[in-house]
Amino acid sequence: MRKILICAAIAFAAVSCGTRQSVPVYLDRTKPIEERVADALSRLSTEEKVALLHAQSKFSSAGVPRLGIPEVWCTDGPHGIRPEVLWDDWDQAGWTNDSCTAFPALSCLAATWDRDLSLLYGRYIGEEARYRKKDVLLGPGVNICRTPLNGRNFEYMGEDPFLAGEMVVPYVRGVQENGVAACVKHYAVNNQEVRRTGTSSNVDDRTLYEIYLPAFKAAVTKGGAWAIMGSYNLYNNQFNCHNHRLLDEILKGEWGFDGVVISDWGGARDDDEAAANGLDMEYGTWTNGLSGAPSDSYNSYHLARPYLERLRDGRADMATLDDKASRVLRLIFRTNMASEPHYGRFTCPEHYQAARDIAAAGTVLLKNEGGVLPLDVPQGGKILVVGENAVKKMVVGGGSSNLKTRYEINPLEALQEAFAGKAEVVWERGYVGDIGRSYNRVDTGQDLSESRDAQTLIADAVAAAEGADYIIFIGGLNKSNNQDSEGTDRIQLDMPYGQQAVIEALAQCTDKLVVVNISGSPVAMPWEACAQAIVQGWYGGTESGHALVDVLTGAVNPSGKLPFTIPLRLEDGPLKTERQYPGVQEDGKPYYQEYYDEGVFVGYRWYDTKEIPVQFAFGHGLSYTTFSLSDLKVSGRKVSVRVQNTGSREGAEVVQLYIAPASCEVERPAKELKGFEKVTLKPGESKVVRFTVSDDDLSYFDAPSHKWVAAPGEYGVLIGTASDNIVLQGTLRK
């Protein structure tokens, strides 16, 4: 005991720099954070400050052991807590207690149009991160769906900056309630995976401020995000992880961001720019299993030995170093050393139920001809399920969102469970998509090998259709390369693997064909007329099968709305040239150049303004009940509308407010989303939904003056349930 007391006294003396009279301010969790930061900073050597700024392993950076300041541990999200990986390798470490709750992909969360569910999502994923002792959750992502081919659309929140901004704020707040920093990514104009580390996104200021920055700004100024991740690409020919304009002028200058800027893994590329241009924490630069890297690889990071050398010879200034170190200390005092301890929860029933509820709420009923859904199967009936995605586990793969879960319920299992003892549920594969079973050594345990050819698979599915009361085709995309996956973009808008031929063959066998598309991004549907019902599903996580079947059976009335447009054809969209996507090589420029020539006309802003027909519009989604909108009133800036459930089931409708611009000097979209409310109503019940229209809602960004401008004149107030379904119209004057 005496040895213990002596050691404790020595440790305390070291921590307090020779004084034993009081606890150092930085250790006193009752003190304001800024006092703690200043106190801790004053005690650090230059070498210790620099050590805070770069990785020491694949997912951690060093603390200051002599002062009791802990390491910072990051984890990939944004849909669940990544399994533990090796110290310097992406492969999982083989732990047996790191199987997380997989929450739905963020495209599904966006499709709920439900701020309360976004808060719940963030709160529960934050609890899982804290339980696993993680300080930074690398998510959520809010990059805009500029092209449906972007491989990471499934990780983002759709095509509209207002919707993404409204949904990201509660997510961030929920995560950070747990003493875990939300690291919003990928900042900014990061809208493709092809050549993602070698392409400059060249964007004019108006487009940047109106389309690609608002969700990030909302996360910072309204959500209070504690971390931002820079992206791999360049913006106007400077790498984004140390882009002076994006990080110093806009993020930390205009928005007053006081958190940390974290590089994407390997995203820092230059010693001088990393030292000077807004980067605070650098990860992944030399970490590739140590093979091919120097033995002291972490000391070779741009913010490690090269930074120290610049500080010592005067090429870098101490004030910038102190700012970076202060931001990291602030992060630590907000998380690991917060004023109140947090403990979290992991894989508990509440988390599983939330995953199920969110996945169901995001499921979008696109078409329901003749009320074929919900399923009405007679006793002793038969359901034929066709499609690889009915059985394929989707949590594994896709890049950094790869997860290991305790379980994953697939749609076939959930259908068999729901109809046990009532109807026969038969499965036929129909097509072969991806037979892979592992990613970073996380294994699904599934054997999806197949010996039949495409014609035989279709013939077998058609044969199995005999006597079926319903045929449910469950297909779409997956998380393999050139589908919904980090690192590659899609190569087509249509369903891959010959799925259209399967759907067309099944349509000849029944008048009750339900097609479920599982994807995280838009898929063309030239086969729409073949199906009586079409459902947009998502990567729903642990409870994906249950959530989907909840909607198919009517246990949950669908209320999801598309967070993006589903076009008829890829060529109908705004990206017309190679110069726009995926970029071109130009003489004298070392990187590919991509030009955002379409400007602010992205998604429905393009289709609605140009009056181009689409398959399904932004904001579209049906219900098993019906709703009416009436009694629009516009009084000054106050807008109200009555929504009523006119059907026979309880359900939820999303009332959407769009603003049509007044005449002005610049070309503006025909309409822009500026408000929405999700309202749950019993049959016959009605409620009044109210909006307040601000100057910001009327404004465009005037680049020459660098100001938001609301031109005087008459603005349209448009109320509807999708961008192409405007039910009520009014006006207001500025």
pLDDT tens by residue, 39-61: 999 999 999 999 999 999 999 99
Q: What is the mean pLDDT of the segment spanning 424-443?
A: 92
pLDDT at res. 167: 98
Helix axes 454-464, 499-507, angle to 10 degrees: 30
Per-residue pLDDT band at 267 (split at 50, 70, 90): very high
CA dist., res. 56 & res. 282, Å (int):
10
341 CB neighbour count, 10 Å cutoff = 10
pTM attached to this predicted model: 0.95
CA distances from 44 to 32, 47, 310, 470 (A): 19, 8, 18, 69
Write the CB contacts of 613 (distance below 8 Å, at least 6 apart in sequence).
Answer: 568, 572, 607
Per-residue pLDDT band at 287 (split at 50, 70, 90): low
Query: Cα-flanking dihedrals φ and ψ of residue 424, to 5°?
Result: -85, 130
443 counts as catalytic: no
pLDDT at res. 77: 86
Q: Under a CB-based contact definition with an 8 Å cutoff, are residues 117 and 680 in contact?
A: no
Helix axes 349-362, 544-553, angle to 10 degrees: 50
Rg (CA), the chain: 27
Average pLDDT, the chain: 95
Tokens of 717: 């107030």
CA dist., res. 305 & res. 689, Å (int):
58
The residue to which tokens 């504690």 are assigned: 226
83 CB neighbour count, 10 Å cutoff = 24
pLDDT tens by residue, 106-124: 999 999 999 999 999 999 9
Q: Which domains does the chain have, with CATH numbers?
A: 36-334 (3.20.20.300), 357-570 (3.40.50.1700), 625-734 (2.60.40.10)
pLDDT at res. 289: 45
pLDDT tens by residue, 354-410: 999 999 999 999 999 999 999 999 999 999 999 999 999 999 999 999 999 999 999
pLDDT at res. 723: 98
Work out the percent of the chain whose per-residue pLDDT is above 90: 92
- Give the chain's end-to-end CA distance (angstroms, integer): 76
643 CB neighbour count, 10 Å cutoff = 24
Tokens of 593: 């150049």
The residue to which tokens 């207001």 are assigned: 732
Task: Give me the catalytic one of 98, 160, 264, 434.
Answer: 264
Q: Under a CB-based contact definition with an 8 Å cutoff, are residues 44 and 325 in contact?
A: yes
